[in-house]
Amino acid sequence: MRDQVQLITYADRLAGDLPGLARLLRSPELAGVFGGVHVLPFFTPFDGADAGFDPVDHTQVDPRLGTWDDVRDLARTHDVVVDLIVNHVSADSPAFRDVRERGDASPHASMFLTMASVFPGGATESDLTRIYRPRPGLPFTPVRLGDRWRYVWTTFTPQQVDLDVHADAGRAYLTSILDAVAGAGVRLVRLDAVGYAVKTPGTTCFMTPETFAFIEDFTAQARERGVDVLVEVHAYYERQVQIGRSVDLVYDFALPPLVLHALYTGDGSALVRWLGMRPANAVTVLDTHDGIGVIDVGRDQTVEPGEPERPGLLTPSQVDELVEGIHARTGGASARATGAAASNLDLYQVNSTFYDALGRDDGRYLAARAVQLFTPGIPQVYYVGALAGGNDVDLLARTGVGRDVNRHRYTPDEVAASLARPVVRALLALCRFRNTHPAFGGPVEVALDGSRLSLTRRAGAAAASLDVDLATGAAHVTWTGADGATGTCDDLLDLPGTW
C-alpha cells in the first residue's frame, strides 16, 4: 500500500462508471494527485436502499458500472480499496428471499440472525435496552419466514438483514466476497459496520471482546490473500486506539470534528491532545460518504449502568457548539439533512460537505486539508471535498435522504469547471506535495502557542512544516529537501507551481 493520498468516491457520481473513473484518475489534471482510490460499493445493485451498502450480490460488479476486469485495470495504476459489508446483506438477496419462502427448511436459514437465534432462552428488558444501535429503537424487523413471523435482526434499516458471521453459511459467504475482491487485485478492504457484526447476549452487541476476536480472525484471512484490512467504526476514541493495535489500518474519525472545533474556536488544545495519542496506523479523513461524526469525540455512550462516565475529547457543551456551528455556517442546510429532519436517523453524524462546514472559506478549507495531510497516516479525500463542493440541497429535497446533501452527482462539465477553481488546484498541489516530499516518511512534531498550531514532519535531512493560525485560518508551509534546498509558501492558494 503506497503512502500516498487516496480518493474516496462513487464511480457513478464522479465519472459515470468504473472505466470513466480510471480515465479521470489518469488524466493530466489529476496526475500525481492520488496514489489510490477507495471505490464505494459498485456491487449489484449500486443504487439500492442504502447507496450500495445493501448488496443483493456482493460478489458481482453491477454491469451498469463495469466488470471485475475494470477493477483489475484500475488496480494497474492505483491502489484500490473496496468495501466488505460484513454486517448485513440486502433483504432482496436470493439467500434471504429463499429463507422468507421456506423458513428453517432453507439451506440459508442459519446465515441470518433473528432475535431468537441470539436470545434462544428469551430476552429480558435489560438485555434489549443494553443493545447499542446508531439509530432510535430496537434493531428488529418482523418478517414472515416460512410459515411463521420472526423478529429479524436489522441494525440499520429493514432492507439490511444482519448476518450470523459465526455460522458456516455466514463464514462461507464472507469468504466468497474476500476471494472475489482479492482476485481483482484489490490491496485493501474496508470492513464496513464491523462494530455491530457480532451479537453477544447480555452485552451492548457493539465492539465487544467477541467483536475484536472476529476482526482479528477476518484480518488473518485477508492477509493470507495479500489484502490489508481497514476497520470502519464510529466509536469512543479510546476504542479506536484499541482497534489500531490489532488491524492494519483504522480510520481517524476524531480528526474531522477536532479540526472544525479548532478552526471555529481558535483553540487547538483538544486537537493537539488527540495528535499525541491517536493510532499511527490510521487513515486520515475530513469527509466521507457519511456525515461528520461527533460520537468519535464525545463521551462513551456504551457505559453500563453503575459504571463511571468516560468523558470524550470534547465536552458535551463543546459538541453542541460544534454541531450548531456547522448548522450556522451551512445556512441551515446541515440541520435539514441531519437526524429526524431526514430519512436517516443516525445519532452520531452531521450531514454536510466539509467545505460548507467551513463556510466556503477557501483559506480555512486549505488549512484544514493541510492539517489532515501533515497528520501521520494515509490520507483519504472524498470526491466532493476534492472538488471543494457545496451542499446539494436540491438532491436532498428530491430524495429526502440526509446523506445525499454530500453526495452530488457530477457531470463532466462540472468536474472540469471544479478542477479549474483556484481552491481545488491548490488542494491538488498540496496532495502532490504530500505524495512526493521525503519528509512525510518521518514522524510529526506538534506545537501549540496560543492559537498558532505547528506540525513538522522530518525524515533524515528532509523537513516540511505547517503553521496555522487557528483564529484566522491563515497558514503557510516551509520545506527542506533531502538535498538541503529550501522553499516557502505564505498563502496556500499560491501552491500550484511552487514545489
Q: Which residues are catalytic?
A: 192, 232
Contact in structure between 91 and 160 (CB atoms under 8 Å): yes
218: exposed, middle or buried (Cβ count in 10 Å: 0-12, 13-18, 19+): buried
Biggest alpha carbon distance in the chain?
A: 76
H or E segment to which residue 127 belongs? helix 125-130
- Quote the CA–CA distance of 411 and 414 in Å, as a whole number: 5
Q: Are strands 462-469 and 349-350 parallel, antiparallel or unpaired?
A: unpaired
How many angstroms separate the CA atoms of 200 and 338, rounded?
30
Rounded Cα distance, 387 and 286, in Å: 13
- Do 18 and 66 form a contact (C-beta atoms < 8 A)? yes
Q: How far apart are the first and last CA of the chain?
A: 25
Amino acid identity, residue 269?
S
Dihedral, 17, 22, 25, 27 alpha carbons, nearest 10: -110
CA-to-CA separations, 332 to 171, 289, 384, 438, 491, in angstroms, rounded: 44, 20, 19, 42, 30
What is the DSSP secondary-structure string of 248-314? Answer: SEEEETTHHHHHHHHHHHS--HHHHHHHTTS-SSEEE-S--SS-EESTTTS--TTPPTTSPP---SS
